[in-house]
Each structure stands twice: as structure tokens, then as C-alpha cells.
Amino acid sequence: MLKPKMTPTRELVNLDGTWLFGIDSRLGDEPWRGALRTPLEAAVPASYNDLFVDDEIRSHVGWVYYQRRVQVPRGWSEERILLRFDAATHAARVYVDDALVGEHVGGYTPFAVDITEHVSAGTAFRLTIGVSGDLTNETIPPGKIEVGMTGKRVQTYFHDFYNYAGLARSVWMCTTPRSRIEDVVVSTDFDGTVGSVTYAVDVEGEGAVRVVLRDEEGAVVASSSGASGVLTVPDVTLWKPGAAYLYDLAVELHDADRVVDAYSLPVGVRTVEVRGTQFLINGEPFYFTGFGKHEDAPVRGKGHDDAYLVHDFQLMEWIGANSFRTSHYPYAEEVLEFADRHGVVVIDETAAVGLNMGVVGGMSGTPPFPTFSEQYANAATQAAHAQHLRELVTRDRNHPSVVMWCIANEPASNEDGAREYFEPLVQLARELDPTRPLSYALVMFATFQNDQIIDLFDVVCMNRYYGWYVASGDLATAEAYLTGDIRGWIERTGKPIMMTEYGADTMEGLHSVHTQVWTEEYQRDYLAMNHRVFDRFPEFVGEQIWNFADFATTNAIHRVGGNKKGVFTRDRRPKSVAFDLRARWTGLEGRKPGTGTTEQGGR
């Protein structure tokens, strides 16, 4: 689905602001059938949980309702009119006045609802959206809802970040012409100095397609007609990590000489390839430095915020990070657009986090019952996962910054049933996008001896906490474990290996002259040990620390005010280790530490 934007043939009204808000238990039956009877207003975009001083709202299980009035511009009588929700976490029902006009499941991908038949140009309507943050074993991510001792429904889930819910991204009302450009898919390549952009335009209705590719100065470099084709770009300027370059692909739908629809998108010409143990961008070995992140901030929860967007990217640049993983769900499209414009490399992850009953077993990793079973990750879960993957890839496949898909975080890939569960998803991902490598982030219980699915994937992405959850406070033992673990994966797979999570909880301001967990010194020593080990393996292609910043978690007793593995605090102040990382990472330009200079990053 194309992101709505203003074009010569399309219009857009932003519906962000404060909306009437209430939780279902306080609103009565069918609350959309009139004005919501509530004193509360919620900010959009924002998760609703932390906005109010009210625990019942914060931990509400069930539906909440947002409502506002919307005026349809009077010039829209001939247009197709849509509502577009950039995200409703995790399920949504959309009502125009009394009518249910659309539904969606999946909390981090956008959806649109055609309301042309329900509204009239020049009039106003009541827009109500029900949003549910509930997680069950048939949602992605999965969770469990039980009726507790008090008779209340209690939500549990198998990931540590707080289950923020609501309208965390923008809401739009927009138009498209009736005959229209429905979708555009591009892929790119180059040979020497000549680039190529392969495009395919999906058209709904009548019209002939024309495309024009312009460079950053606005000069036409290629053009073509027809719904699909290949554009040749002489003297191509490649999109490179640290040196973004974006062409503009203007797509027009014509009826004779009349432009029926127009849409344009940025295109970065670059290639991605896994060859042997190398991860290549534009044919050059690339070394990932950076973080697993979260969309997380005080008050707004997972609400998208351009100020945090800009500041987080500034901090990443300052520290020398060239990449991040969208752990553990697709991020706002604005984040990927920003990464495209600033040459930051992204591993794009689905929200499939917690497909692992082993984590319930604690450090033993023994599942109380099999993960891949009727009881938990069953055919319905897999279908939800497939739908989620489809929506992620179709949303993000045109972003040059996205170099790899991560189809799950820490699934029980060591358990029976993992192969049957993942094989069709891998096949689907490869059909949706044959150009990008695939990965999943490996849980520590999945070892090079017992993992059952790594051969289906291209890159070994390890999440490992030696020196934290294992061998806590004992970095010598941790170093031995880590070394053996990496060596085992190298010997088993012959694939590129990277660390997608390693980290130590650190209380800012806590210091000690002794080796003590939670101190700022321990975080520094812990990371230094990891880096020493990584640098010994030529097959190692990257390091993404857990986590960029401290983030909110559930009320777990082993978390003090959230997960503190951030290199920055939740309000983005650096812990001591940030300066070590800056010394290690700046100037690398995508090369492995200690391996000299490179052209990667130059234009």
C-alpha cells in the first residue's frame, strides 16, 4: 500500500490531535453510536497507557475508543476517499457515524478504509475507532489472557517491553482518483557505472503508465512507459551506508494527455548480497555497528515523535552507529524514510517476538509445553504471522535502507515443530522479496547443536548475554562461552554471523572499583569483552548492542524501572560506555574494527 501523500492528483488531511477517549468498561454498549460520554481526551499519535494518572486505563485489557469529528473538504465530490491509520495497536474497528466501515489486526502496520460510500464532500462525520491491545496465541506478538483471582481479565505476554496500545502513529483522511496507481515496486542493480531500476506499477482502473526518474538536482536520467520495465541510469550515484543518494521516481497514469493519477517515490540504487561469510552492500563487505532499538519514550510510549526521531539519529551518528534493527516490530514509516535519506542501514523485523515457551521456563529454557503445538504457536498463529510478514514486506520493500528482513525474534528454533512452522514463512518472504537476505534473531537456548532452521536463512543473528544472564559478573567464563558459541556457529553454517543482541543492565550513576553487575564500569567491561571476541572472527559481520536506550517493561521484579541495558538512558543521556563505543565505531565507515580504511561510505 502506498503511503498517502499530497500529489497533483491526491489530497491529504491530517487527523492528529486530541481525540475523545475512553475504555470500554466505562462507556456502555456500542459507544460509537453517539458522542463518547467521557471527560478524557487522548493525544494522537501516542500510546494511551501513560497519558493518564489512572492504573485502570494503563493496564486495561480490552477495547478502548477514540472519537473526533471530521470535516470532508467540499472539493472532494469526485474523489475516492480513504481513512488511513499508520498503526492501531493491536487491532482496530473503524466506525463512520454508526456504521462499521473497516477492521484490521496487526499493531505495527498501516491499513486504509475506503469510506467513499459513507461520507459526502462538504459535510462532517463522527469518526470512532475502537482499538484493542489484547494479545492471544493467535496474535503477533502472542500473549495470553486469563481471568484472574479478582475476576478481572489479566494479560500476560512473552516479551519484556511494555505492551503499549492505542493510536501510536498518525491518522489521515486522503483521496485517490478512481483510476489510480495502487502500488509501485522497485528493485535496483548496477554494473560498473550503469545503474538499473526495475519497476512494476499496479494500476486499478484505466490508464497508461509513464515513469520518469530524476536525480537529486531534478535532471531527468531515464524515462519509460508501460506498467513495468527497467530504467537505465548512466553514471549512477549509488545509495551507500553513510552516503545516501536518492533518485525520484515519478509515476503517472495517463488517459490520452490527461494525468489521471501521479505518485512519486525516492529510489536508492544499491545491491545487497550474502556471499560466503560476507554481507555485501554494493559488492563491498559491510560491518554493522549499532543497536537493537525500541520505539519508546516517556509519556507517549510507542507514539511516533519526529523530535525523538531526529535526536535518536543524531545520537547514532555521534556514536558511529551505521545501522539498527527494528526490534521487535515494524517501526513508523517516517523512521525508514529518515534512514533512507541519511544512509542508515536497517534490519527490518516483524512483531513475532515471544514464539518461545522456553522463556517461561526461565534460565532452564525448559518449556512447560511445546511452543509449536495446538496450545500455543498453532496454524492460526502461523497464519497471523504470514499476514504480518506480508504487510511488513509490502510496506517496506522500496526502502534502500532496509537490507535484511528479520522474521522473528528469539523463536524456539531448537524445538520440534520449528521447521514446519518457519519453512512456509521463509518461502513466503522470499516470494514477496527475492532481493533481500533473511534472518531471525537466535535465542540463547537455540545452540549450534540443536537449532532446527538455520539452513533456511542467510545470516546467523545471535542474541547472547554471556556475562549477564549466563556467567553473571564473571567475564572470563563469559568470554570462553562466547568464543565457543561463535566458533560452533561458524563451523556449522559457513554463513556470515553477527550479534543482534548483547548487553548488560546498567543503572546510570552506579559505580564501583570492583567487578559488579549493574554498574557503569561493568557495562563497559562487558562490551569490551564481547568486542575482543568478535574481532577474532573474520566471519563476524556486525554488532548491534541491546539496547540503544533504556525502555519501559512490564512489572517484572527483575526490572528496576524498566530494562536498563540502554547505552543511553530513556531520556537519551549517555552512560559511560557510550564514549567507549564512540571511540570504537567512529571512522569505521562500515568496515570491521581493526581492518583499515575503505571506500564504503564515500560517494
Site residues (CB under 6 A) for ligand GCB?
Answer: 159-160, 328, 409-410, 463, 501, 546, 563, 565
**What residues contact residue 383 under an 8 Å CB cut-off, 6+ apart?**
none
CB closer to ligand GCB, 160 vs 340: 160
Closest separation between CB of residue 551 and ligand GCB, Å? 8
Cβ-contact 289, 321 below 8 angstroms: yes
| Minimum distance of ligand GCB from residue 476's CB (angstroms) | 22
Neighbours of 536 (CB within 10 A): 10
230 in helix, strand or coil? Answer: strand
- Contact by Cβ (8 Å): 460, 442: yes
Least gap, CB of 314 to ligand GCB (angstroms): 24
φ and ψ of 311, to 5 deg: -65, -40
The CB-of-159 to ligand GCB minimum distance in angstroms stands at 6
Q: How far is CA 547 from CA 192, 301, 473, in A?
A: 38, 16, 19
Angle at the Cα of 554 (from 552 to 556), degrees rounded to 5?
Answer: 115
Residue 29, exposed/middle/buried by CB under 10 A (0-12, 13-18, 19+)?
A: exposed
Of the chain, the end-to-end C-alpha distance in Å amounts to: 32
- The CB-of-316 to ligand GCB minimum distance in angstroms stands at 19
Show the cell assigned to 364: 532452564
The C-alpha atoms of residue 438 and residue 407 are separated, in whole angstroms, by 7
Q: Return the closest-CA partner of residue 529 out of 564, 463, 493, 481.
A: 481
When the beta carbons of 200 and 510 are compared against ligand GCB, the nearer one is 510
Measured from the CB atom, is 300 or 565 closer to ligand GCB? 565
- E strands along 326-437, which residues? 345-349, 402-409
- Angle, helix 333-342 to helix 379-396, in steps of 10 degrees: 40
Biggest alpha carbon–alpha carbon distance for the chain:
78
Minimal distance, residue 214 CB to ligand GCB, in Å: 42
What is the torsion angle, in degrees rounded to the nearest 10, for the CA atoms of residue 359, residue 360, residue 362 and residue 363?
-30
Could you list the active site residues? 410, 501
* DSSP3 helix / strand / coil % (the chain, rounded to 5): 20, 35, 45
DSSP 98-130: TEEEEEEE-TTS-EEEE-TTT--TT-EEEEEEE
φ, ψ of residue 344 in degrees (nearest 5):
-100, 135
335-368 as b/e: b if 16+ CB within 10 A: bbbbbbbbbbbbbbbbbbbbbbbbbbeeeebebe
Q: Are 441 and 409 in contact (CB under 8 A)?
A: yes
Q: Tell me how far the alpha carbon of residue 488 is from its chain's centroid.
A: 30
282 or 447, CB closer to ligand GCB? 447
